[in-house]
Amino acid sequence: MAKEADAKIKLQIPGGQATPAPPVGPALGQHGVNIGQFVTQFNEKTKDSQGMILPVEISVFRDKSFTFIIKSPPAAVLLKKAAGIAKGSSEPNKEKIGKVTKAQIEEIAKIKLQDLNVNKLDMAGKVIEGTAQSMGIKVED
């Protein structure tokens, strides 16, 4: 029989750069998890995604063991990287601060498809386009 999770912890950590400092240490420490073991395992699994913000879902069990699932980076992070901008627009309906192509949207949609609540690539593309629009990024053909 599978172990039942005692707690679920969701964090966003830069790939390959987890440290015992906040937010990782306090979030895991309060559940009695071996922080050093998590940091080592996370950094090993994400060494190819250096610096990219990665959501991680950690399941902590009664015996203080844990498992974790690394999800794809947030769409906003991928869009900022594709558009070459540091942050989104403060007035996205008036001020457009970057541009991405339909091809870039499709690439991001392929990366995000497994984590979105759609099952077709064209629908995932529309979700990513909506995120781009809300950030003040213009989508071009």
Bridge partners for 11 per DSSP: 56
103: domain range?
A: 75-140
Are 40 and 94 contained in the same domain?
Answer: no
Nearest to 7 by CA among 67, 72, 71: 67
Q: Is the pLDDT of residue 29 over 70?
A: yes
pTM: 0.78
Last residue of a domain, one of 70, 93, 119: 70
The CATH number of whichever domain residue 61 belongs to comes to 3.30.1550.10
Are 84 and 66 contained in the same domain?
Answer: no
Count of domains forming the chain: 2
pLDDT tens digits, one per residue of 34-56? 899 999 999 999 888 887 889 99
The CATH number of whichever domain residue 96 belongs to comes to 1.10.10.250
pLDDT tens digits, one per residue of 4-15? 778 899 999 998
Which pLDDT value is given to residue 95? Answer: 87
The DSSP secondary structure of 79-97, one letter per residue, reads HHHHHT-SS--SSTTT---
